[in-house]
Amino acid sequence: MALPASAVRAFEPPPQPEREAPARTTCPRRHSRVEAELAASRPGSVAASVGAGPPRGVSDEFNSRPLLEKPRKASSSLAGAACAPLFALLSRRRRRRMHVLRRRWDLGSLCRALLTRGLAALGHSLKHVLCSIFSKIFGPLASVGNMDEKSNKLLLALVMLFLFAVIVLQYVCPGTECQLLRLQAFSSPVPDPYRSEDESSARFVPRYNFTRSDLLRKVDFDIKGDDLIVFLHIQKTGGTTFGRHLVRNIQLEQPCECRVGQKKCTCHRPGKRETWLFSRFSTGWSCGLHADWTELTSCVPSVVDGKRDSRLRPSRWRIFQNLDAASKDKRGSPNTNAGANSPSSTKARNTSKSGKNFHYITILRDPVSRYLSEWRHVQRGATWKASLHVCDGRPPTSEELPSCYTGDDWSGCPLKEFMDCPYNLANNRQVRMLSDLTLVGCYNLSVMPEKQRNKVLLESAKSNLKRMAFFGLTEFQRKTQYLFEKTFNMNFISPFTQYNTTRASSVEINEEIQKRIEGLNFLDMELYSYAKDLFLQRYQFMRQKDHQEARRKRQEQRRFLKGRLLQTHFLSQGQGQSQNQNQNQSQNANPNANQNLTQNLTQNLVQNLTQSSSQKENRKSAKQNAGKEQNDSTSSGTNDYIGSVEKWR
């Protein structure tokens, strides 16, 4: 039985008023969320949740497709049932992407909100602090309203100044290097750079006995006179770096002029157009590419005597002419006597006809590292074909010095092939370039047996190295700098840098290959051991000498201060006695007392005069005997050092 319409209306629930949308807030994201929730709560209006638009940061293409996301809070089962099949139509990848984008968007908005609120709170607190400070200082002079405006302007100015300072600091000194350097400078004292340079033990035990003249290297280098430094550059020993230090890193009255894009620099003496340095970066390869001891000792005097130092760049035929003219004096039968390399002969080679003094210097390196570095350099295409190898006035023939490769270069050669070549000049290169090759017949191997030849070459290299003005080691950069400065009395601007990682260190070799390289360079191994021992003994001797000089200066200062204090004490005591005597004379009229007082005065005056005269005589004798005392101190220091060496042995 059908009910009437009025009855049906009576049983129906009263209609509920529709929810009005809240007022639009300032946040668009919150408004879109509220609209989406209201649309989802209404039955039959599922698409309204999709029409809310994508979140901020999501492209429009994402919303153009019929993609529906399950609402966070479904107000009715009908809305959830309607959204579930639509959301299930999406692929798993799409749903995961929607969740990730929504999560990122929420996190980014949260961070931005926290940052803005934090900055606002910080600015507000700074404003109140500055306002309170200015109100206490300038309260009587300004009103509160003006104070707020001034504080705002001041706060803005301070913030801008801080940002500008940060930008400038990051531009000038990026990173935290400057801050760390400042902290280190204020926190701890500067350590000794020479002790922490290498990983060797602090106590060095010498193996060879050297005299005082061998250990003490002090060259009176006159840069304004006729002295000339000759740099013997051995391949792959760090000579390029040291050569750049010589022309760019020395404190001089007239520094070397180095132009951009040019390898050579002009190193003239002060007030003259003559060079004081004979090296690759000052005069070029004037005696040939990487000229050895035999070439330099014959070529440099002829070049210097034949041309001005400012034009030390002869042509190839000029080099042969100079070497031929220099070898005419000693040409004849090949001299195989080791005594030809005596100190008198080397001294004669260190001077020229014009009276110039030549001071030879060089750099050595560990033979295994140097050999591997040269192999890597040859792999990249280096040949050194321009080297002359002139000995006794002529270059070697192809039979005396055959080539290890047939093409233009030896690029890409493996290490085994590099070691298998019996004519490879990389084998024992340091001994060959430091010895006098005229003693063994140059490159003619048939002059004497191989064993005798090796012995003569090694002894010649040792004697030449010991009589050189200076030599350094690549493995001890700071000690090399120290000894050079003490030898030539020339200081570098910036300290040397010790590089522990090189191309040779990157080559991984096993123990068998290392032993084979040491066997191929057995002469260089013995020479390097000798050079390292001499180098470290020279370093210790010079450091001990510096400590003794510093101690002697401190003692002299103490004596001088003690004498000044005694002199002022006697003067004040004499003035006090004279005042007392004058008072006694005015009070006592007894003649005997006056006589005693006069005797005391005369005695005091005589004592003061004798003391002053004795002090003057002592000063004169100290000035006269300063050199003698210095020699005695150095000799005593040398005896102590040699005695300690004997104890260590």
- Give the tens place of pLDDT for each residue, 330-389: 444 444 344 444 433 444 356 666 667 999 999 999 999 999 999 999 999 999 988 999
Which domain does 396 fall in, by range?
218-306+354-560
In a domain, 25, yes or no: no
- Rg of the Cα atoms in the chain: 45
In 3D, which of 538, 505, 496, 534 has the Cα closest to residue 197?
A: 496
Q: Over pLDDT 90: what percentage of the chain?
A: 40
In a domain, 414, yes or no: yes
In 3D, which of 292, 298, 349, 307 has the Cα closest to residue 325?
A: 298
Q: What span, in angstroms and rounded, lies between the C-alpha atoms of 70 and 278?
A: 85
Q: What span, in angstroms and rounded, lies between the C-alpha atoms of 68 and 462?
A: 89
Q: For 27-86, how does the pLDDT look when each residue is reduced to its tens digit (9 = 90+)?
A: 444 455 555 555 555 555 444 444 445 554 444 444 444 444 444 444 444 444 444 555
In a domain, 506, yes or no: yes
Percentage helix, strand, coil for the chain under 3-state DSSP, each rounded to 5: 60, 5, 35
In a domain, 87, yes or no: no
In a domain, 201, yes or no: no
Q: Read off the pLDDT band of 565 (50, 70, 90).
A: confident
In 3D, which of 575, 581, 579 has the Cα closest to residue 600?
A: 581
Q: 459 pLDDT exceeds 50? A: yes
Q: For 479-508, how does the pLDDT look when each residue is reduced to its tens digit (9 = 90+)?
A: 999 999 999 999 999 999 988 767 677 788
In a domain, 623, yes or no: no
Residues 6 or more apart in contact with residue 538 via CB below 8 angstroms:
215, 217, 483
Side chain identity, residue 47: A
Quote the pLDDT of residue 294.
Answer: 96
In a domain, 610, yes or no: no
Question: For the chain, what is the mean pLDDT?
Answer: 74
In a domain, 434, yes or no: yes
What are the beta bridge partners of residue 522? none
| CA torsion, ordered 190, 194, 196, 199, to nearest 10 deg | 180
Quote the pLDDT of residue 373.
Answer: 94
Task: Answer yes or no: 290 catalytic.
Answer: yes
Q: Tokens 């706060």, residue? A: 155
Among candidate residues 290, 359, 389, 569, the one labeled active-site is 290
Q: Read off the pLDDT band of 586 (50, 70, 90).
A: low
Q: Tokens 């391949």, residue? A: 235
What is the distance of C-alpha 549 from the center of its chain? 29
The domain total for the chain is: 1
The pLDDT of 505-526, averaged and rounded, is: 93
Q: What span, in angstroms and rounded, lies between the C-alpha atoms of 314 and 574?
A: 78
Quote the pLDDT of residue 188.
Answer: 45
